[in-house]
Amino acid sequence: MSSLLLRYQRFVPFLAVLGAVTALGIGTSWAKHTLFPLVGAQGTTAVRVGFSALLLLLLWRPWRWQLSRTDLRATMLYGAMLGATNLTFYMSLRTLPFGLAVAIEFSGPLLMAVLSSRRAIDFVWVALAVVGLGMLLPLGGMNGSTLDPTGVAYALAAATFWALYIVFGKRVGHLHAGHSVSLGLVAAAVVVVPVGVVHAGTALLSPYVLLVGVGVAAISSAIPISLEMMALKRLPKEAFGIMISMEPAVAALLALVLLGEVLTFNQWLAIALIMSASMGTAMTARRSEQGKLQPA
């Protein structure tokens, strides 16, 4: 019995990451299908981030912890980048398939992580990511890409903001995760809710929009964050990075089933290349960190 329990426990982190990625994909697909036609990408971002902040404030009650002025400033910057990431990503979804928008967004943290190192193997991951992106970006018709340039620009902006979100997130890494994430989402709401209100106006107060907004917030934020925290407690960071790299493929599959978004062979290949670069970066990250810790 104990051996079966141990075997089950080994799969818990993987199932947690898979559950987090799947929940995020389902929530985003639901939002795109249901809320976009009613309140647009801006309004959808507002209700998702706004209700996510409320849910996590109730869950973690961050006022229980003291916060220095320096940590407060870092948390606000971290949250602002989170809000900007969500807004620009949802704006990209207006004209881009879900899976491709996720793949392009992945390029931000991926390239930042790889370019921070100077080892030869890391340039392999750079090459894979560049080739994958080159197959997706509309480069004057040279690669046959038919993606909307405006949508791609928003996805690249989301990639940039995601990279900055990671930078500022490291500055609050010493805080309890529930503390930093809940306060960060409040700052994110301050950034995106006014944009949604200006765009959608009183449509945001529709009982149907509010009800769906709560559901999207729970599925897209509260559940994934809780599952990711569970996985991180049981996994090394590089293993978590490898597992989370499946997000573009899961997003593309969910979009195919839930939204009818069919991708071409070249687009699936581009996703595979970007995922391979992300996995490779995660696999070699630990060795790089260990090397930096050794005395010169």
- What are the b/e assignments for 50-73, b being 16+ CB within 10 Å? bbbbbbbbeebebeeeebeeebee
Contact 205, 197 (CB under 8 A): no
Question: What gap in Å lies between CA 161 and CA 166, rounded to an integer?
Answer: 9
Whole-angstrom distance, CA of residue 41 vs CA of residue 94: 7
Q: Is the dihedral of CA 9, 10, 12, 13 positive or negative?
A: positive
Judge contact between 220 and 23, C-beta under 8 A: yes
Burial of 5 (0-12, 13-18, 19+ CB in 10 A): exposed
pTM of the predicted structure, to 2 decimals: 0.90
Count Cβ atoms within 10 A of the Cβ of residue 45 and give its class: 0-12 exposed, 13-18 middle, 19 or more buried.
buried
Question: Which 8-state DSSP code applies to residue 204?
Answer: G
Per-residue model confidence as pLDDT tens for the chain (296 residues): 455 555 656 778 888 899 999 999 999 999 999 999 999 999 999 999 999 999 999 988 998 888 899 999 999 999 999 999 999 999 999 999 999 999 999 998 887 776 666 677 888 888 899 899 999 988 766 666 789 999 999 999 999 999 999 889 888 888 887 888 899 999 999 999 999 999 999 999 999 999 999 999 999 988 898 788 778 777 777 777 888 899 999 999 999 999 999 999 999 999 999 999 988 888 876 554 443 333 33
Q: Which of 293, 273, 286, 296 is nearest to 107 (CA)?
A: 273
- Residue 3: DSSP 8-state: H
Alpha helix stretches (DSSP H) within the chain = 2-34, 36-60, 69-92, 98-115, 120-136, 149-171, 177-200, 207-217, 223-234, 237-244, 247-259, 265-293
Q: How far is CA 204 from CA 15, 42, 209, in A?
A: 35, 10, 6
